[in-house]
Structure 1
Amino acid sequence: MSSDSDLTARARIRDAAIALFTERGIAGATIRDIAQAAGVSSGLLRHHFGSKEGLRDACDEFALARIAQVQTRFVGSQMLGPIPPDVLPLQQYLVRALMDGSPRSTEMFRRAVDQGEHLLGDLKVETGDLRAFVAVVGAMKMGMFLMRDQLSAVLGEDVGVPPGYLRILRASIEIFRQPLLTPEQADQAMRALDRISLHEGERP
C-alpha cells in the first residue's frame, strides 16, 4: 500500500512530466530531467510509472479526466464560470501530445471526441453528424493552441497565459454567438454539398 508521501511524489512526478512534455515534446523530455524537476530519483519515477511510456499514459489519463470534469460541469450548469488555473496547462499539454502524430495521440483525440459526443448529445445540438461536429470543433479549438506563436505575434501578447488566453476565448465566444451565414446561405451550401455527395456516389 502506498504511503501519503508516495502519493505526493507520484503527483509531483506527473506534474513535472506534464510541464516538460509540454515544453519539450515527448521525445525531448528525459526520465532524468523529469525526475530532477520533481525532486525525486529516476528509480522512484520508474517505481511509480515503470517507463516514460507509462508516465505519459498516466499524464494523458489525468489531463483527459480533469478536462472532462470541467466540461461536464459546464454542460450541466450551462454557465461558463471561472476557468480553473490548472486547466490551461493541461490543455496545452494535450495539444503538444497530439502534435507528435503517433497512434497513441490519435487514440487520445478519439477519446476526447467520444467524451464531447457524449456531452453534446444531451444538449441536442442541431447537426446531422454529431461526431463530425464534435471532432471539427475540437480541432478548431486545438488550432488556437497550435498557433500560439502566430496568434501571440499578431495580437501583441502571449495567448498561452492570461490575459492573452482570455482574449482569444472572448473572440471565440463572439464567433460562436453570432451566425456568419444566413439561414438561406447555410441551406444553399448544404444543398450544394448534398449534390456533390450524390455525384461522388455515382462514380464507378
Structure 2
Amino acid sequence: MDRRAEDLTARARIRDAAIRLFGERGIEGASIRDIAAAAGVSSGLVRHHFGSKESLREACDDYAKERMLEVSTELATSGGVAALDPVALHPRVFPLQLYLVRSMMDGSETATALFLGAVETIEEWSEGYGIEPHDRRAYSAALAAIKLSVFAFRDQVSKALGEDITTPSGYARIGQGLLDVFSIPIVTQEQVETIRKQEK
C-alpha cells in the first residue's frame, strides 16, 4: 500500500492491518486481537486509537475511499497510462479493492456509495467516447459489477487460472483477461438486434 509520512504511525499500521484482514476475512472474521497482532501492537492500543471495531471499520472505509479516488484522479490526468502497468499498480490498489468489495458485501454504505460513483463515472466515460448502449445506466452498472466480481470470487478465479490473483503477476493476468472481455465482441450487431426484438 502506498504510504505517506503519517503512515509510519501506529494508527496507520493498525488501519492497514485492518484493511488487509477485513478484506481477507470480512468484518466478523477479523478480531481486534488479530488486527493488533498483524499491526505489531497491543489490543489496548487499537481500542485507544479507534475505540471499537465498528469505528475502525469506518476509518478504513474513509481511507480506502479517499485513496481510490486519488488513484482514479491520477489515472485520469495521466491518460490512464499507469493502468497499463498492473504490476506497478497492484500494491497500491489491490488491498483497497479487495477491502471495498468485502466491505460492500458486509453492508458498508461508504463502499456502496463508491460503487455508485464508479457507475456514474462509467456513464460519463461511455458517453464521452461515443459509446451508445441500449441502456447506459444498466451498461455502466454491469461493467462496474463485472470488474468487482473478480475480487468477490478471487479464490475461484485464482483456482481457475492456477495462479493467485492477489500476487502482482496474477493480478496482471486477470487484468488482461478483463481487457479482452471488454474489447472482444462475443455477439454480432445482427445478433444483438435479433435479441432485442425478441425482448419487445
Give the TM-score band, short-chain normalised.
0.7 to 0.9
Identity of aligned residues (%): 47
Q: TM-score, normalised by structure 1?
A: 0.78
Q: State the structure with bigger RCO (CA 8 A, min sep 6), 1 or 2.
A: 2
Query: Closer, same or farther in 2 for the Cα pair 1:90/1:186, shift >3 Å?
Result: same
Matched with 1:38 is 39
Structure 1 window deviating more from structure 2 (42-51 vs 114-123): it is: 114-123
Kindly provide the amino acid, as one letter, of the partner of residue 138 in structure 1.
A
- Give the residue type in structure 1 aligned to 2:36: A
Q: Which runs of 4+ in 1 moved over 4 A?
A: 4-7
Measure the CA separation in 2 of the matches of 1:65 and 1:172. 25
TM-score after normalising by structure 2: 0.80
- Check 1:149–1:39 CA distance in 2 against 1; reply closer, same or farther (3 A cut): closer
Alignment check: 8 A CA contact 1:75 1:119 kept: no
Query: Does the 8 Å CA contact 1:68/1:115 hold for their aligned counterparts?
Result: no
* Structure 1, gaps ≥5 residues long: 196-204
Shift of 1:171: 1.2
Aligned to 2:180: 174
Q: Partners in 2 of 1:169 and 1:8 — Cα distance?
A: 33
Superposition CA RMSD, Å: 2.5
Cα distance in structure 2, aligned partners of 1:165 and 1:6: 25
What secondary structure sits across from 2:29 in the alignment? coil
Distance 1:176 1:5 in 2: 38
Give structure 2 stretches of 5+ with no counterpart.
none
* 2:170 corresponds to 1:164: yes
Q: Is the 8 A contact 2:7 2:13 kept in 1?
A: no
1:112 aligns with one of 95, 111, 115: 115
| AA in 1 matched with 2:188 | T
Q: Distance in 1 between matches of 2:184 and 2:21?
A: 38
2:149 maps to: 143
Deviation by residue 1:65-93 (Cα, 9 ceiling, x = unmatched) = 22222233334414334342221111112
Deviation at 1:37, TM superposition (A): 2.0
Q: Does the Cα contact within 8 Å between 2:23 and 2:103 map onto a contact in 1?
A: yes
Equivalent residues, number: 188
Q: Give the CA deviation at 1:119.
A: 5.5
